[in-house]
Structure 1
Amino acid sequence: MNVKPLTGKLKKMKNLVIAFCALFTVAVSAQQTPASIKKSFTIMNATAHIGNGEVIENSVIIVDKGVITAVADARVVRIDPVGEVIEASGMHVYPGIIAMNSTLGLVEVDAVKASVDQREIGVYNPHIRSIIAYNAESRVVESMRPNGVLIAQVVPRGGRISGQSSVVQLDAWNWEDAVISMDEGIHINWPSSFSRSGSWYNPGPIEPNKKYDENIIELQDFFNDAVAHNMTQDNESNLKFEAMREELNGNGRFYFHVNGEKSIRDVVTFIKKNNIKKPVLVGAQGAQNVTDLLKQNNIPVLAGRVHDLPAREDSDYDMPYKFPYLLAKAGVTVALENSGDMERHQTRNFPFYAGTVAGYGMDKEQALKMITLTPAQILGIDKKYGSLEEGKSATLFISKGDALDMRGNQLTRAFIDGRDISLNSHQTELYERYMKKFGKKPQRTNQ
C-alpha cells in the first residue's frame, strides 16, 4: 500500500492537533481529584459560627462518617474526640457558603462560544434543565472552594422562562455526583416596566415599556395553558407544560427575576392570582419600598449583588450595601445572590458580600445566615445543610480568621459531606509559583 507523504500544510495541521491535545491533557490533569472518603474527625477549640445566629467559643465539633454528631462548648461539656483531632484554637469554623442564582459550571470562558452553555434559544423554556449542562470539572468552580463557597444553585439564563435550576456541591466527578437537589425550581424573567434607548456607553432616556402589559398577558396565558394541560389526564404530551407540574402543584419554587417597585407589586399580584405556593423574588431592586407587601405574603428575596452601583440616579450611594439589611429589618426573609457582570468569577466574593452587609447595620451572624442557613431554607435543603447542627452534613470549613473579611478569610481545611476536599486551584498554584520566584515562602497551609 502506497502512502503519500504529508504536505507542508497537512504537517502544520497535524502539529496543531498534537499541540491542542497536549494542552487539553495538561488542562485536564490540572483538575483536583474529588475527595472520596467520608472522614471521622473532631474539631477542637475553634470559634464555631453555627449559621443560625449563634456562636460557640471554644467549641468541640464531632463528625462521624460525614455527619455532625455533636456540637458543644468544650468548656462545659466533656466529649471524647472521634477520629482525627484537628486543633483549631484561635481559628473559626463555618458552615459551607451557598451561592444562590449562580451560573457556575455553565460557562468556562465567556469569549469562547463553545464553552458557553447557560441559555437555550426560545422564550418559554420551563423544560430546560441546567443540571445537564453543569461541568463539575470547571476550573472556575474549583476556584470557589478556597473562599468557603461549597454549594451552589446552578441557574439557566435567557428568555421569559429560562428553565430549571438545581443545587450542587462543588467537589464532584460529574453532575450526577454533584447534585444535591435536582430541578428544584423554575426561573421567570419578569418583563421590565421601562425601556432605555441608546447604548451602554451613551444611554438614552428611560421610557415606559409599551409592551409591558402585553408581555404579562402572554405570560399569564402560558400559565393558564400549563394549568389546563396538567389538569387533563388524557391528552397529548407537552414537554413545556408538564415540566411545570411540580411547581404548579406547590412542590417546587418559582423564582421571579424582577426589579422596580411597580414590577414587584405586579409580580405579587400574579403570584396571588395563580395561587403560587413557593415564590421567590430575585434581585428585587426597589423592594425596600414594599416590604409590608412581601412580609404579608411571606415572599423571600434573593437580594441583588451587594458590591454594585445603585440602580437609580436618585438612590442612596450605599443602597446596594444596606439593601439586604433594610429588607431583613422589616421582617422579610433575605438571602444574597450574585448575578451580573463576571458573575461566575465574582461568586468567590459571597462571604465578603455578607461582610459588607454586616458593615451597614446587620448583625454579623445574621449576615452569615444570609449565605448559609437562609439559602438552605429557601432551597429546601436545610435539614441537611446550612448550619453546624447535630444530624446535619459535615459541609464546613475552618478559617484562620473572620471568613467575612478579606483579610481574615484564610481557609486551612474544608469538608463536603465529611470528605476532606482540596483547596488547591490554578490560582493557588500561581501564588506558590511566584512566591518561589521572589524567594518567599508561601503563607498558606491548605492542601
Structure 2
Amino acid sequence: MKTIKKLYILLLFAAFSLHAQQTPAPKQSGDITLTGGIAHIGNGEVIQNSLIFITDGKIIGVYDATMTKRPLKGEIIKIDGQHVYPGFIAPDTTLGLVEISAVRATEDQDEIGEYNPHIEAIIAYNAESKVVESMRPNGVLIAQSVPQGGTISGESSVVQLDAWNWEDAAVKRGDGIHLNWPNSFRRGRWWLGEDAGYSPNKDYASDITDLKDFIVQSRAYESGDSSIKNLPFAAMQDVLDGTQNLYIHVDSEKEILDVLKFKKEMNLEKVVLVGAYRAYKVADQIAKADVPVILARVHSLPEAEDDDYDISFKMVKTLVDAGVTVALGNSGEYWQSRNIPFYAGQTTAHGLSFEDALQLITKNAATILGVGDKLGTLEAGKDATLFISTGNALEMMGNNITHAFINGRSISLESHQTELWKRYMEKYERTE
C-alpha cells in the first residue's frame, strides 16, 4: 500500500510539473501606443478610432484619433478595427485556492470553525495555478479570491492573474469579509431519517440573533480594553467603521429583506449582496438601500419548478432598471470563471445593451470591489490592465485575444489548453 501511495504522489507531482505557469511578464519599459482600435471605455462610451498611450504601467491618455494630432511615441501597436477592453473582472471565485476539486491536497478554500473573519484567503493563493493562467486567453485579468464555509468565511482579496506569488498578485488585500446568511427554510437530513424536503428553519431567528450579538461584541471590543487580542473581533473593525465591504451571501426574497433590515439596525455602511437569486423581486428596496449586488453565475438553471426558464438571464435587466449597481459573479467557482465574458454576453439577448453588459464585468465590478480608482475603465490615471480582441469579446466566436496587458506588462496568452489546441490542430492538419 505504501508503494502504491508513493507512486500516486509521484504521478500527481509529475502531472503538475509537466506544465509550469507561464513566467510573469517583466515590468513595462518604455512607452506603448495603441492606434486604430475600437475602444470600449467601460462606462458606456465607445471611441471608434482610438489612440491609447501607456507609460510606466498606467494609461496616460485615451483619445479619438480623428480629433487629436498628438505624436505617437514608444512601441507603436497598430490594431486597426480590433476592439480594446478594460481587463475583465471575475468576482466571487475560488481562483488560486483550488486546483483539482477531487484532490483534497490541492484545496485550501475553507477553515474549521463558524466565525472566521480573521482568516485571509490571499495567504493560500497559488499564483502557479494552471487554472489561473487559463483565464487570461478570455480577457479575464482580475479576480476576487474568496474563502468558503462557515457562517463568516473570512476575508477576500482582489488579485491580478500574472504573478510570481500572492504578494505580487494582490491588487487589494482584504477587500471585504464574507458572511453566509442563514436560511429560513432547511432541507431535511435524510441520513438521520428526516423528510428530505424543505421545512421552516426553527433556528432562523436565533441564527440572526447570533450574528447581531457578534457585531455588537465586535463593536464593544474596539471601544473597550483590547489589550488581550481577540482575532475575530479585531478583524471586524474595518467593516464596522465603513472602510471594508461586508459581502453577505444570500438568495431568497425574505432573507434579502432581512439583510437590508440587518444592515440598518447594525449601522453597517458597506454591504454587498452576493448570489442574490431572488433580488429581482425586491429590486426597488435594494436600490433604495443603496446596496450593490454580485449575482450568481448567469449560466445557471432555474432553482424552482415555477421559475421562468430564462430567469437567470433576464434578472440582470430588472435590477439595472431599478438603479441597482450589478456585477456578475461566479458562485464560488474557479475554472468556470473564464466564462464570465459570456455571462455578460448572454444578458444582451435579454434586454441589456452591449455597453451596459460590459460594465457588469468591468466598471461595476471594480466599483463594488473597491478598486474603481485603478481598474474597470480605460481612463487616464488608471492601471494599464486591458486587452485587444479581433471581435466582440462577449461572444465565444468573437473573443479572440491578440494582446493583453496587466499594469502595462505584455502578458503571455498561452495556457495548457491553448497548447493542447495547437498540438491537435497540427495533428489534423497532417492527416488532411
> Partner of 1:268: helix, strand, or coil?
helix
Q: State the partner residue of 1:250.
A: 242
Deviation at 1:204, TM superposition (A): 3.8
Q: State the partner residue of 1:344.
A: 334
Q: Distance in 1 between matches of 2:101 and 2:65?
A: 49
Deviation at 1:360, TM superposition (A): 0.5
Deviation at 1:233, TM superposition (A): 3.6
Deviation at 1:385, TM superposition (A): 0.8
Q: State the partner residue of 2:274.
A: 282
Deviation at 1:84, TM superposition (A): 1.4
- Deviation sequence 1:353-373 (CA, Å, 0-9, x none): 110111100111011001001
Alignment-mate amino acid for residue 317 of structure 1: Y
Q: State the partner residue of 1:362.
A: 352
Change (3 A) 1:193 1:81: same
Maintained 8 Å contact 1:280/1:300: yes
* 2:118 matches 1:134: no
Deviation at 1:21, TM superposition (A): 6.0
* 2:18 matches 1:34: no
Q: How does 1:10-409 map to 2 (within 5 A)?
A: 23=15, 25-27=17-19, 30-39=20-29, 40-197=31-188, 204-339=196-331, 343-409=333-399
Q: Distance in 2 between matches of 1:250 and 1:287?
A: 23
Change (3 A) 1:84 1:325: same
Alignment-mate amino acid for residue 166 of structure 1: S
> Partner of 2:188: helix, strand, or coil?
strand
Q: State the partner residue of 1:444.
A: none
Deviation at 1:80, TM superposition (A): 1.3
Alignment-mate amino acid for residue 61 of structure 2: A
Deviates most, 103-112 or 331-340: 331-340
Q: Distance in 2 between matches of 1:11 and 1:300?
A: 54
> Partner of 2:63: helix, strand, or coil?
strand
Q: Distance in 1 between matches of 2:2 and 2:107?
A: 30
Alignment-mate amino acid for residue 39 of structure 2: A
Alignment-mate amino acid for residue 59 of structure 2: I
Change (3 A) 1:246 1:273: same
Change (3 A) 1:20 1:155: closer
Deviates most, 428-437 or 225-234: 225-234
- Deviation sequence 1:140-162 (CA, Å, 0-9, x none): 00000000000001100000000
Deviation at 1:58, TM superposition (A): 1.1
> Partner of 1:439: helix, strand, or coil?
helix
Deviation at 1:225, TM superposition (A): 1.1
Change (3 A) 1:198 1:46: same
Q: State the partner residue of 1:435.
A: 425
Deviation at 1:19, TM superposition (A): 6.2
Deviation at 1:286, TM superposition (A): 1.2
Maintained 8 Å contact 1:303/1:323: no
Change (3 A) 1:197 1:14: closer
How many residues are matched? 427
Maintained 8 Å contact 1:47/1:92: yes
Q: Distance in 2 between matches of 1:175 and 1:73?
A: 38
Deviation at 1:297, TM superposition (A): 1.1
Change (3 A) 1:278 1:13: closer
5+ residue gaps, structure 2, are none
Deviation at 1:24, TM superposition (A): 5.0
TM-score when scaled to structure 2? 0.95
Maintained 8 Å contact 1:41/1:84: yes
- Deviation sequence 1:194-247 (CA, Å, 0-9, x none): 1123679xx943221111111111111111111111111454210110011111
Q: Distance in 1 between matches of 2:356 and 2:268?
A: 28
The CA RMSD measured in Å over matched residues stands at: 2.1
Q: Distance in 1 between matches of 2:3 and 2:313?
A: 58
> Partner of 1:309: helix, strand, or coil?
coil
5+ residue gaps, structure 1, are 1-8, 442-447
Q: Distance in 1 between matches of 2:110 and 2:3?
A: 38
Maintained 8 Å contact 1:403/1:410: yes
Q: Distance in 1 between matches of 2:181 and 2:6?
A: 50
Task: Work out which of the two has the higher radius of gyration on C-alpha atoms and give 1 or 2.
Answer: 1
Change (3 A) 1:233 1:62: same
Change (3 A) 1:433 1:239: same
Q: Distance in 2 between matches of 1:36 and 1:252?
A: 32
Q: Distance in 2 between matches of 1:41 and 1:35?
A: 15
Alignment-mate amino acid for residue 31 of structure 1: Q
Deviation at 1:17, TM superposition (A): 7.6
Q: Distance in 1 between matches of 2:391 and 2:322?
A: 31
Maintained 8 Å contact 1:126/1:186: yes
Deviation at 1:26, TM superposition (A): 2.8
Q: State the partner residue of 1:5.
A: none
Q: Distance in 2 between matches of 1:356 and 1:16?
A: 42
Change (3 A) 1:116 1:199: farther
- Deviation sequence 1:254-313 (CA, Å, 0-9, x none): 000001110001001110011001110001111112122111110000111110111222
Q: Distance in 1 between matches of 2:232 and 2:394?
A: 41
> Partner of 2:49: helix, strand, or coil?
strand
> Partner of 1:438: helix, strand, or coil?
helix
Change (3 A) 1:199 1:316: farther
Q: Distance in 1 between matches of 2:427 and 2:373?
A: 47
- Deviation sequence 1:41-76 (CA, Å, 0-9, x none): 111111100001110001111111211111111112
Q: Distance in 1 between matches of 2:154 and 2:306?
A: 34
Change (3 A) 1:195 1:392: same
Q: Percent identity?
A: 53
